[in-house]
Amino acid sequence: MNKILLINGANLNWLGLRDPNHYGNLSLKDIEELTTEEASKFNYELIAYQSNHEGCLIDTLQSHAKSCDGIIINPGAFTHYSYALHDALLDTCLPAVEVHLSAIKQREEWRSKSVTAAACIKVIWGKKEQGYIEAVHVLMEHIQNDK
């Protein structure tokens, strides 16, 4: 079966407990289930992984790159400074879509800069869990056009 890797970074394990105005009311498990359901409509399996540790995210990207067709990533705070994560995304040679639950461009100035965005085909922000659904569609369209 075709596979998509879903990566969630720092503090996203606390979704449902964090500020709902920025992050919504759903838990990470809820978002993973919604994204899994959407991917299955295209006959894709979703491999979900979350860590608060940058190196673990990179290890996961590297270990799954050869068996996946695309990546959806919400790097959390790593978005703003992890050039290592940027490089790991590029090194996979897979299309990646960056997702942010909150409207990062309308928050603190430091949140508006993404160093990982340049390694992605699209960045989706401010749509809460719907951003993950949109990311599935963006990946599917990109993969279809690449064939």
Q: Are 101 and 30 in contact (CB under 8 A)?
A: no
Residue 101 per-residue DSSP state: S
pTM: 0.94
Q: Looking at the 3D structure of the chain, how many domains does it have?
A: 1
Which structural domain range is residue 36 located in? Answer: 2-146
| CATH number of the structural domain spanning residue 94 | 3.40.50.9100
Tens of each residue's pLDDT in the chain, 147 residues? 799 999 999 999 999 888 887 888 899 999 999 999 999 999 999 999 999 999 999 999 999 999 999 999 999 999 999 999 999 999 999 999 999 988 777 777 877 789 999 999 999 999 999 999 999 999 999 999 987
Q: Indicate which residues carry an active-site annotation.
A: 23, 100
With vertex at residue 21, the alpha carbon angle to CA 19 and CA 22, rounded to the nearest 5 degrees, is 75
pLDDT at 54: 98
Angle separating helix axes 130-146 and 28-40, nearest 10 degrees: 30
